[in-house]
Chain A
Amino acid sequence: MTYIVMECHKGYVILLDENGLFVKAADLHYQVGQTITDPVLMQNKRSSPRIAWRIVAPLAAIAACFLLFFGFGILQHNRNVYTSIYLAINPQVQMDLDRDGTVVGLTGINEDGRTLLDGYDGNGKDKIIVADELIDRAIDMGFLSEGGEISFSIDTPDIVLFQEYGIELRTNVTQHLDGRITVTIAITDCHQTEGENTLSSALSQAISPTPNRTQSPGSSAPIASIPPEGQEYQEDENEDKDEDDDDDENDD
């Protein structure tokens, strides 16, 4: 192919090829108007990232759409209320949890419950932390005192989760109050009937949260012995270590 030298610049020339294209080439001592063959053409640098981006962009868009639909769905799925724990001292509070046991909602069921929650935000916290903090607030506000009773009523479709939460709440709240005040902790399953509740109340168990008790508050024995659904666990916390031991033995 022949080229006409159209313009000479410092370092390069502009050529017109037979296809009607204007190209830049090395100036090998050419003159304007000269017809040449075999020039050293300037190589057009096509940036590879641009090409890559052309391929990646649609894929990234599709991935983003998937993430938007499914990721949001998964997030929503996890954030949905899966379990509710009803905390009753005198104030009654409904604690809604997601599948991970994180608090996603707090509602005061009665007037005292609303007072207890006034100015408190437990969203995003673990259920145990929220339970401990609400109990502390109840003590500060005078709702809970020596010899009082804390009831956790767990509403969950999963019996294993009920057992797990029951053990966790009992163990941690007992430890949290250990050496401060003596209270009775009751853990019930919302799905059991009233008759079963009455029956299970009769079979309830009392333990003391003091450090010298013979039965560990963290022991899973009472919970593990619960028949599926409908049984209540009640732990009576006594100040006196000896009485505590006696009670445990009697229960056994």
Chain B
Amino acid sequence: MNDEQKIIEQVYKAKINVEQADYLINDYLPFIRAETAKFLKRPPIEGHDDELSIAMIAFHEAIGGYTQTRGTFLKYAAMLIRSRLIDYHRREQRHRHVLSLDMPTGEDDAPLIHSLPDATDHIETVTQEATRAEIEELIRHLKEFGITLSDVADNCPKQQRTLSACRKAFYYAQSHGELLTELLKTKRLPLAALAAGSGVERKTLERHRTYMIALLLIGTNRYEIMRGHIKYVMKGEAVK
């Protein structure tokens, strides 16, 4: 088996497996760095240059969007990385007048953020910790259903119409607590009851089963911060 075939095989595995995708990104980190260096005309510094992060997400996009009709994978990935880096730089140019908190100030070149009063820092840290705990709880909870957050992200509705249909089913479940109880008890989405009660096609709910489970779990009383974050969804309003 030649190298190209091996890469293609890895890419196709990574498309359906999050862990494989992470391994592939890790394996090809030197390639991603090289492509970023070509753009920056200097080696990128990990943890400092946002461009490297942009290149990495572009590589991830390349995994998702690659088909053999697009030619060799690495050429396709390189093209996508370059395009995303150009997009990012154009976007950043619009914010040039905004000062960065990381920019050096004063004689000792300390970042600007260090010179600002940290009145909100403590509250933010506490909130972040609480949010982190809720997220960890949600991840554990989802694991009981055999679902990961990556699965949920991949299963989210892409079209507004489908999103509205999923929300309709969600509101119906919210107003019928027994459905949520059944979900938690059986670890299975009550598709028939949701479809019949909400009027949403069963096929639509089946296609977005993973997303629906995650949304319904957040809708339970355990996740107050996340419920607060999606308050407009909970109230039945959409955010633009």
- A, B in one complex: yes
Interface residues of A (CB under 8 A from B): 1-2, 4, 6-7, 9-12, 14, 16-29, 31-35, 40, 42-47, 49
Decide if B229 touches A4 in the complex (CB within 8 Å). Answer: yes
> Closest residue of chain A to B170, judged by CB?
A20
Decide if A19 touches B153 in the complex (CB within 8 Å). Answer: no
Among the listed A4, A19, A31, which residue makes an inter-chain contact with B238, where contact means beta carbons less than 8 Å apart? A19
Decide if A12 touches B60 in the complex (CB within 8 Å). Answer: yes
Decide if A31 touches B57 in the complex (CB within 8 Å). Answer: no
Q: Interface of chain B, helix or strand or loop or mixed?
A: helix
* B116-130 contacts to A (CB < 8 Å): 127-130
Separation in Å of the A135 CB from the closest CB of chain B? 58
Decide if B57 touches A7 in the complex (CB within 8 Å). Answer: no
Decide if A29 touches B47 in the complex (CB within 8 Å). Answer: yes
* B198-240 contacts to A (CB < 8 Å): 211, 214-215, 218, 225-226, 229-233, 238-239
State A2–B124 Cα separation when bound (angstroms): 14
Separation in Å of the B107 CB from the closest CB of chain A? 26
Chain B residues within 8 Å of A4, by CB = 131, 135, 225-226, 229
Decide if A10 touches B238 in the complex (CB within 8 Å). Answer: no
Q: Contacts A18-B230, A19-B233, A22-B156 known; A27 to B218 CB distance under 8 Å?
A: no
Per-position 1/0 for B3-23, Cβ under 8 A of A: 000000000000000100110
- 18 CB contacts below 8 A, A to B, read A4-B131, A10-B26, A12-B60, A18-B232, A18-B233, A19-B239, A22-B153, A27-B56, A29-B47, A31-B128, A32-B131, A33-B127, A34-B131, A35-B127, A40-B84, A40-B91, A42-B60, A45-B64
Decide if B150 touches A32 in the complex (CB within 8 Å). Answer: no
Which of A1, A2, A18, A25 has the most C-beta atoms of chain B within 10 angstroms of its own C-beta? A18
Give 9 closest A-B pairs by Cβ, nearest first.
A45-B65, A11-B56, A33-B132, A33-B131, A26-B57, A20-B233, A22-B153, A33-B128, A11-B25
State A44–B60 Cα separation when bound (angstroms): 10
Decide if B60 touches A47 in the complex (CB within 8 Å). Answer: no
Q: Interface of chain A, helix or strand or loop or mixed?
A: loop
Separation in Å of the B153 CB from the closest CB of chain A? 4
* B139-159 contacts to A (CB < 8 Å): 139, 149-150, 152-153, 156-158
Separation in Å of the B16 CB from the closest CB of chain A? 15
> Closest residue of chain B to A46, judged by CB?
B158
Q: Contacts A7-B135, A16-B229, A18-B239 known; A23 to B18 CB distance under 8 Å?
A: no
Decide if A2 touches B233 in the complex (CB within 8 Å). Answer: no
Among the listed A21, A26, A49, which residue makes an inter-chain contact with B156, where contact means beta carbons less than 8 Å apart? A21
Q: Contacts A18-B230, A19-B163, A33-B129 known; A9 to B53 CB distance under 8 Å?
A: no
Decide if A9 touches B218 in the complex (CB within 8 Å). Answer: no
Separation in Å of the B66 CB from the closest CB of chain A? 8
Decide if B229 touches A11 in the complex (CB within 8 Å). Answer: no
Interface residues of B (CB under 8 A from A): 18, 21-22, 25-26, 32, 47, 50, 53-54, 56-57, 59-61, 64-65, 67, 69, 84, 88, 91, 127-132, 135, 138-139, 149-150, 152-153, 156-158, 163, 167, 211, 214-215, 218, 225-226, 229-233, 238-239
State A31–B125 Cα separation when bound (angstroms): 11
Chain A residues within 8 Å of B84, by CB = 40, 43
Decide if A28 touches B239 in the complex (CB within 8 Å). Answer: no
Among the listed B61, B127, B230, which residue makes an inter-chain contact with A20, where contact means beta carbons less than 8 Å apart? B230
Separation in Å of the A207 CB from the closest CB of chain B? 68
Separation in Å of the B179 CB from the closest CB of chain A? 17
Chain B residues within 8 Å of A1, by CB = 239
Chain A residues within 8 Å of B231, by CB = 18
State A22–B130 Cα separation when bound (angstroms): 19
Decide if B57 touches A22 in the complex (CB within 8 Å). Answer: no
Decide if A11 touches B54 in the complex (CB within 8 Å). Answer: no
